[in-house]
Structure 1
Amino acid sequence: MAHYARWIEFLGGDLRQVGLVMGFGASLGLVLRPWIAQWMNRLGARTMWAIGYGVFAAAALSNLFLYELTPLIFVCRSGIVLGAAIVFTSGLTYVSQIAPDNRRAEAIGILGVGGFLGMLVGPFLGDLFLGSSDRQHRDFVWFFAIAAIANLIPAGILVFIRPPVRSKAVVSIRLSEFAANVRQHWPGTILLVDLAFGVCMCGPFIFVASFIDRQPLQISGYSVIGVFFWFYAGPAIAIRVFGRQLPQRWGTAKVLIAGGGLMSLGMFAFAVVGSENPWLIVLPALLAGAGHSLMFHTMTALTLETFPLEIRGTGSTLALMMLDLGTICGAPLLGLIGEQYGFATLFATIGATCFTATAVYWLSLIRSTKTGGSAAS
């Protein structure tokens, strides 16, 4: 789905429409996440995980009914984001329920290796059909069909993983229950980092394809977006695997702060990339990928820290709701900035947002340490 901006532009949209569609698409996931959490607490993470894959596949195929840019694209994109929301929340909840508390960040990090493997394969595979500037509707048919199939396969594999031990109590699916749990177990300023991370994801997963097309960036014999995600995800996998115990050794918060710094630098590094030096795209890819590999699992573990096991789905959902909110607010604004002032300013805005959020969290951590409290206070 890193190529989805190309689909919007193929249907007649510009960078502003890309931002609007992507931002609005995330809103359905945001609105429905509280109910997703409650249903997850009731049905179990494994069941909801499979449902999420099915929703994603159906939504991907629904795009094939579009032949021009109409309001229906908001529905199609929203379904994709909703399916992804269910998958991510379910996976995080499942892992947090089976892992010991002192290794939660490590477990979430290893789960995320699967996502990075998808980044190594998916954008390159999509570029086999969409790499040419002369794109036809049939190219997108293959694109969405393969995306749907790629999500139905793991849905079947889920039957082979063991279900986590869950409370026998019947969990309410009322929204008021979700709100009460969030209020009681409020995790604090870490939510600002969750929000900023959602803004950061607009860079590689929304705007980088348009950036490559408009520069334009061309490397003879190579897919530029494939190269970007190879260098984004490849080293990130190595960091996750070989550095999986960093949260235990250094402390989860310190790893998060280091990741926020690298992510910020990665976004600023897009300024040095141009058509005359396309290979330099590996620099923001390496920095941002390393930042991603250090940030996501640590910020999620820190958000979950205040939530007890039986409502861990609520904590996962809250973290991802803030991520969604970052995308909803960030994508349209960034699209407008990019159209008016260029990509360097667009990516610099993302970098400044990430740096600010990380700095605020760091300062709150220092203050809470001095007062003997916690960052969630």
Structure 2
Amino acid sequence: MTSSTMVSPDEEPIYTRKFWLAFLANVMLVTANTLTFRFAEFVKFLGGTEETTGFIVSVGLIGSLFWRAFLGPALDNFGIRRVWLLSTLVYMLGCFTILTTGEIGIQIYVGRILFALGLASMFASSVAHIQGQAPPNRRTEIIGTFGASGFLGMICGSQLGDFIFQVFPQSNLLYRILFGLTLALGATHAMVAALLTQGDRHDRPSESPPVYKLLVRYFPPKVFIVTAMMGLGFSVTMIFLTRYATELGLSGIRTFFTSYAITAFSMRIVARNWSRAVGRHQLIVYGLAGHALGQVALTFVTSEWHLILPAICCGFGHALLFPCVVSLGAGSFPIQYRGTGTTITLAAVDLGTTLTAPLLGWVIDTSGFHAMLFTVSGVLACSTVFYAFLTWQIVDDDVSPAEHRIRRPEPGKAVVAPVAGNSNGA
């Protein structure tokens, strides 16, 4: 990994100029990505269906998943700076390809694939970079605080997207403005990333095992359950919610995503140290339960303000899940393979969306939105109970020594206090 991201002793501050530059870059990237939550409207405008949208998005994610097999080793071998900046070029090319699409055809698929490749690589690069700014026992905290920037971007993107749809009628011009702004924000993100990583020196690992060997050796299997459920939830909120709102005759989705983001941002600040008090596994149970309740609450929506309750539930869940999952998944890899670990963890979330988006689109086309929402909430509820059963005896390395004394240890393990050099997150 890049040498500038290696951590110093625990007492050194983690919220430095580099952290806040990365925070700003992520605000811009998530603002851009939130604008594309209107992609389903674009597909409908071109004559597609909900299933078509799910299929196009899945094709893009499959492309990004295939690329992840090379992305992790690329981060480890070539450094964060090179991969990050190259990713922004791929992202911008994808935005331009979508921007100039006029029909459902090969071009929109190519554009979505390039967009997904670039976006996945940009997120992986930024998360891999930020993890190195803190010692292991504060990694969950810094990931959570950094992730709060995404919720600010979500507010900006949802407000801006709804404003564009209110000002401009359905036309090619509307979508050119939408995706043009997405491209411009990506370009600005690239400039900040270049400044952020200027002067970085990269040390290649002495050996580069195949990704599948690293996956089998280090990635915690239990985390796959959570990433799949996160991907399922994102299929609803980030792909089909805009069509659900249109079906209900609502003016847009900004009420949902603004409430979602405010809740998640607030929870990230309030709960930034919770992992050291109750452990990451317990927070994951709370997060999955929040998502399950949010999906059920969406079925009762009849006016725009009704979106607030499901948004609060889903925002609560997202705030707790993401830092815990990234910390457990990526943190289980040695530092020299942290890029691969981060990539695998984020890819696992995308895999959940890839597998579920076409299925949810089919359910919507055949049985309606409510059937889809009840199905998703049921699956999430069952997964919550199952994960709680799997992890109820596990003592998390993040938990402080005082808490270790009152929690039951994982069967077959001795209870030890966490140390700064321990990067094993599960």
Per the normalisation by structure 1, the TM-score is: 0.91
Provide the rounded CA distance (Å) in 2 between the counterparts of 1:53 and 1:234.
28
Cross-structure match for 1:178: 211
1:319 Cα deviation (Å)?
A: 1.1
Cross-structure match for 1:329: 355
- Paired-residue identity, %: 26
1:296 Cα deviation (Å)?
A: 0.8
Instruction: Tell me which protein shows more helix as a share of its residues.
Output: 1
Q: Give deviations 1:236-276, integer Å, cap 9, x for gaps.
A: 111112321111222121112111111111011111002xx
Q: Secondary structure at the match of 1:189?
A: helix
C-alpha change, 1:61 and 1:366, in structure 2 (3 Å) is: same
1:79 aligns with 2:107: no
| Structure 1 segment 141-180 matched on structure 2, within 5 A | 141-161=176-196, 167-169=203-205, 172=208, 177-180=210-213
Aligned-residue CA RMSD in angstroms? 2.2
Structure 2 regions of 5+ residues with no counterpart?
1-35, 395-408, 415-423
Q: Give deviations 1:261-319, integer Å, cap 9, x for gaps.
A: 11111011111002xx3310111111101111111111111112321111011111111
Match of 2:289 among 261, 286, 290: 261
Contact 2:100 2:176 in 1 (8 A): no
1:372 aligns with 2:372: no
Contact 1:113 1:240 in 2 (8 A): yes
Q: Secondary structure at the match of 2:37?
A: coil
1:134 Cα deviation (Å)?
A: 4.0
Contact 1:42 1:170 in 2 (8 A): no
Which amino acid is 1:270 matched to? L
Which amino acid is 2:328 matched to? L
1:127 Cα deviation (Å)?
A: 2.0
Match of 1:198 among 218, 231, 239: 231
Q: Secondary structure at the match of 1:67?
A: coil
| Structure 1 segment 328-347 matched on structure 2, within 5 A | 328-347=354-373
Cross-structure match for 2:312: 286
Provide the rounded CA distance (Å) in 2 between the counterparts of 1:214 and 1:67.
24
1:367 Cα deviation (Å)?
A: 5.7
Q: Give deviations 1:180-203, integer Å, cap 9, x for gaps.
A: 211221312111111111111111
C-alpha change, 1:334 and 1:348, in structure 2 (3 Å) is: same
Q: Give deviations 1:194-229, integer Å, cap 9, x for gaps.
A: 1111111111110011011111124xxxxx311111
1:98 aligns with 2:126: no
Q: Secondary structure at the match of 1:280?
A: helix
Per the normalisation by structure 2, the TM-score is: 0.81
Provide the rounded CA distance (Å) in 2 between the counterparts of 1:198 and 1:303.
15
Provide the rounded CA distance (Å) in 2 between the counterparts of 1:263 and 1:373.
32
1:128 Cα deviation (Å)?
A: 2.2
1:213 aligns with 2:246: yes
Cross-structure match for 1:221: none
Aligned pairs, number? 367
Match of 2:73 among 28, 32, 38: 38
C-alpha change, 1:100 and 1:166, in structure 2 (3 Å) is: farther
C-alpha change, 1:186 and 1:373, in structure 2 (3 Å) is: farther
Contact 2:97 2:108 in 1 (8 A): no
1:273 aligns with 2:308: no
Provide the rounded CA distance (Å) in 2 between the counterparts of 1:47 and 1:240.
30
